[in-house]
Amino acid sequence: MTTPAVTYNLIKKDKHTGARLGQITTPHGTFDTPMFMPVGTQASVKAMAPEELKEMGAGVILANTYHLWLRPGEDLVEEAGGLHQFMNWDQGILTDSGGFQVFSLAELRNITEEGVHFKNHLNGQKLFLSPEKAIAIENALGADIMMSFDECPPFFESYDYIKKSIERTSRWAERGLRAHKNPQTQALFGIVQGGGHKALREQSARDLVSLDFPGYSIGGLSVGESKAEMNHVLDFTTPLLPENKPRYLMGVGSPDALIDGVIRGVDMFDCVLPTRIARNGTCMTSKGRLVVKNAKYARDFRPLDEKCNCYACRNYTRAYIRHLLKTDEIFGLRLTSYHNLYFLLDLMRKIRAAIKEDRLLDFRAEFFEEYG
């Protein structure tokens, strides 16, 4: 039996919740979980240098298969020696499979058993993605962790539609496993779907667990459903997944959603939120969100967050960052992006410490009291 590219080591289960402290070992290093993964859609975490990501404690970062397939093309990235070489990042990289981008970005033409026909969102050109094509692109990009090609159905779709969708997604997952060229160096994760239907989540999980993936994503969430609905689906979905493998909740999220996902047994998260809101001057702080562009901060010479120890908070004030944003100085975006990413990575550090000391629920209460 060859060693899989990625292994998970469960270090400790929280006494009072479903939270787990663990480590995930990849060909590019071992990383503590629960973890937040910054998103680098086009092979760059927007406005951040790899050295800055490293100093704030990022371990695994994301890149988008759909975007990189379109530009610069997976063949160019492969020629460059793969994504790690191309973007000068020597730690973990995870690529999604393009499934979600096709359903959320591109002008959808139609979904068939074979795959998805759609239009390139940049130039309207007709494109086709199948499980085999998506896996071939991810193999060429060379990420340590790859996602299966799946359909992310609308959360409120009918039971019948979602049943047919998860059955096709399971057939696609199997086709992806067969097409995968480098299982020793790249771990392919299965993606559990099923919308808000317990029976369909059980069926999807059963199908994928029987295919023995090295890790599992929980898909079909953070697509407009309420936080209560997402938490309810997690309550009955994470227990269906193997304890000795990582669980990755896609597209999450905000500080409260991260804490609630960890409590329900999730190990890995990704979200564009921190860098996206940073670009319009919204910062995450221990007291909630702070829109530093607001006039009330014009003469506020405090850091973004007085409890934050990041580069931006140690060296710059709200007044200065507001001035940079108001004058379209690029450095302003860099400071808000740095701070928001640091804030979430630091939140995960605090969550891991709380699990270690069996005080995660106390930490959640304290956090929400301040965060509002």
Given the rule CB under 6 A, which residues bind ligand HRD? 96-97, 99-100, 147, 150, 152, 191, 219-223, 250-251
Please report the beta strands in the chain, taking only residues with DSSP state E, as ranges in sequence order: 7-13, 20-26, 29-33, 35-37, 60-63, 92-95, 107-111, 116-119, 126-129, 145-147, 187-192, 216-218, 247-249, 268-270, 282-285, 288-291
Kindly state the smallest distance separating residue 145's Cβ from ligand HRD, in Å: 11
Q: How far is the CB of 49 from ligand HRD (least distance, A)?
A: 25
Q: Which residue, 317 or 340, has its beta carbon nearer to ligand HRD?
A: 340
Q: Quick check: is 32 catalytic?
A: no
* Residue nearest to ligand HRD as judged by C-beta position: 251
Structural element, H or E, at residue 210: helix 198-210
In whole angstroms, how close is the CB of 314 to ligand HRD at the nearest point? 31
Supply the minimum distance, in Å, between the C-beta of residue 151 and ligand HRD: 8
Question: Does residue 214 have a cis bond before it (omega within 30 degrees)?
Answer: no
- 155 or 320: whose CB is closer to ligand HRD? 155
Query: Considering the complex, what minimum distance in angstroms separates the CB of residue 298 from ligand HRD?
Result: 34
Residue closest to 292 by CA, chosen among 330, 253, 328, 325:
325
The catalytic position among 96, 150, 260, 346 is: 96
Beta carbons within 10 angstroms of residue 117's beta carbon: 17
Respond yes or no: is residue 270 known to be catalytic: yes
Nearest to 263 by CA among 127, 158, 355: 355
The three-class DSSP label of residue 261 is: helix
Closest to ligand HRD by CB, 249 vs 290, is 249
- Pairwise CA distance, residues 61 & 270, whole Å: 8
Of 35 and 354, the one with the shorter C-beta distance to ligand HRD is 35
Judged by beta carbon, residue 58 or residue 152, the one nearer ligand HRD is 152
CA–CA separation, 197 vs 81, rounded Å?
43
b/e burial code for range 249-263 (CB count within 10 A of at least 16 → b): bbbbbbbebbbbbbb
CA distances from 271 to 27, 83, 281 (A): 23, 20, 17
Out of 150, 207, 270, 305, the active site residue is 270
**At CA 310, angle to CA 309 and CA 315, rounded to 5?**
95
Question: Residues 281, 298: contact at Cβ < 8 Å?
Answer: no
Quick one: 238 or 317, whose CB is closer to ligand HRD? 238
Smallest gap from residue 271 Cβ to ligand HRD (A): 6
> Could you list the active site residues?
96, 270
